[in-house]
Each structure stands twice: as C-alpha cells, then as structure tokens.
Amino acid sequence: MTALLELADIHKRFGAEEVLCGVDLSVAKGEVVAIIGASGSGKSTLLRCINLLESADQGRIQFDGQDIAPLGRAHGGRAMEAGRNHVRARIGMVFQSFNLWPHLTVLGNVIEAPQRVRGLNRAEAEREGRALLDKVGLSAYAEARPSRLSGGQQQRVAIARSLAMKPDLMLFDEPTSALDPELVGEVLSVMRLLAQDGMTMICVTHEIAFAREIATRVVFIDGGCVVEQGPAAAVLDTPSEPRTQRFLARFLKDTRS
C-alpha cells in the first residue's frame, strides 16, 4: 500500500538538545496510529514537524507523494508560505487546549476557515458546518458562545472545526489530557467515529485502552526515537523492547494508583 505520510530520518534540535533523533514513520491511508511515550520524549515536536509548525533540521517528510519538509523552513517568501498553507489545510490538528475563538459562536468557529481558505460561500459553509456539528453531537449549541460549553464540548467543536477543512490526515496531540475525567469519553467517542469513517489519524494519547481499541498501530517513542511499533495488542500487551516494558509498567502503575 502506498503511504499517505512517510517520514524518513527526521531530526530536530532545540539548541544543544536533540529532540528527534532520526524518526522513520510511515502511515497508510485509513490507518489510525497511536503514539505513546513519556513527557518530553518528542511526541508533540514530531506532530508539529508533520504539519510544518516546526521545521525538521534533517530528513524527508513525504505527504501524498510530495516532499513537504522544505516548506517547513521559515524563509522562502510567498511561494513557500502558500505551499505551507496548502499542506496545513490538508492536515488537521487538534491540541490539548481547544483554542476556540471566543468572540465567534460555535458555528462561527466551524465555518470561518472553510470560507476563507476553501472559498465556500456562507450558505455552503453553514450547511457543511451544521452537518459537522451534528456529527459531533452539538447541533443544539450552534449559536452558543464557546465559553458556555464544557471542556469536552469545546474539544468536540475544535474537532468539527478541523474537519471543516476536509483534511486527509488528522493529528491529535493529547486531545483529552486537559479534560475532567468524566468528559474524556465523549471526545474519544467522536474520535472513534472518525476512525470508523476511515479517517487517517495520528493520535498522541495517554489513553491506553482507547489506543488498544482503535489504533491499527501503536508507536512507542522514547528520547526522540521510535523504540518499538506494531499492532496495538503486540506493543501494549507483549512489548519486546525493555524500554517499552518499563514505560508501560510505570504508566499502568501510575494510572491505577
């Protein structure tokens, strides 16, 4: 199968610290990849390199057959900027913090970018936007301000807002980490629906049970390197690398206590 996304030998340093040290990762269309690893291991930096919020210092990032890594570099003027925006429009990203625009309604948040970037008129954008709000279970809140919503609802709006760009790939960076425990499930349910619809997804998550359930592959990152990857059951239940074993043992102990 041809890869939608192919990373080869990605390196990234911040000052003297090498945060990513030669990451290879290939993601096929329709795959759901869960990335796990300790805090500071480079997971967010990896996602940020993929959607060009950071530029990789070295290595190749192929997205849909195009080498996009050079677009991540800050210089290059207008053509680079246009290329970068084109790629970002096709790669949605959902963060731990929802960052909704407070001055817009929920629907307003969802229809802003499709009008500006995809060139939809307001009626088209609203029609699509309402369908997306329906999908994430928030039709009733279309006219509300984000501040009236719970964290779980706000994160669902953030997901709908990303989907409004019709991305080919969705990146999730610990989307439930900022939520009260009782609100985690509703966000995971939306992600589960997306996975079932065939969306290609890369999810950095601490929800091990969720990863086991929906991920076609689990990738364990430690110290900026992919240490182990494979089918969810293999990596999570019978990891072969000692570093993975130690991480999971510690992690499961911490989350049970």
By the criterion CB under 5 A, which residues form the site for Mg ion? 43-44
Interface residue with ligand ADP, options 42, 92, 114, 167 (CB under 6 A): 42
Residues 6 or more apart whose CB falls under 8 angstroms from that of 180 comprise 151, 152
The site string for ligand ADP over 137-176 (x = CB under 6 A, - otherwise) reads ----------------------------------------
Smaller CB distance to Mg ion: residue 43 or 84? 43
| Measured distance CA(103)–CA(94) in Å, rounded | 20
Q: How many CB atoms lie within 10 A of CB 26?
A: 17
**Is residue 233 within 8 Å of 245, Cβ to Cβ?**
no
| Measured distance CA(34)–CA(210) in Å, rounded | 9
DSSP alpha helices (H): ranges in the chain?
Answer: 43-50, 77-90, 106-116, 122-135, 151-163, 181-196, 208-214, 232-237, 242-256
What count of Cα atoms within 13 Å lies in the side-chain half-sphere of residue 157? 32
Task: Give the binding range for ligand ADP (CB under 6 A) out of 38-46, 74-82, 138-146, 241-249.
Answer: 38-46
CB of residue 248 to Mg ion, shortest distance in Å: 18
Tokens of 157: 């709006």
Q: Which does 14 bind (CB under 5 to 8 A by kind): ligand ADP, Mg ion, none?
A: ligand ADP
Residues touching ligand ADP, count (CB under 6 A): 10
Smaller CB distance to ligand ADP: residue 141 or 220? 220
Tell whether residue 37 is a contact of ligand ADP (CB under 6 A): yes
Tell whether residue 52 is a contact of ligand ADP (CB under 6 A): no
Give me the residue label for tokens 């206590």: 257
What share of residues in the chain are helix, strand, coil (percent, to 5)? 45, 25, 30
CB of residue 74 to ligand ADP, shortest distance in Å: 13
Smaller CB distance to ligand ADP: residue 34 or 142? 34
CB of residue 142 to Mg ion, shortest distance in Å: 31
Tokens of 76: 């290059």
CB of residue 141 to ligand ADP, shortest distance in Å: 30
CB of residue 10 to ligand ADP, shortest distance in Å: 12
Residues that bind ligand ADP (CB under 6 A): 14, 19, 37, 39-45
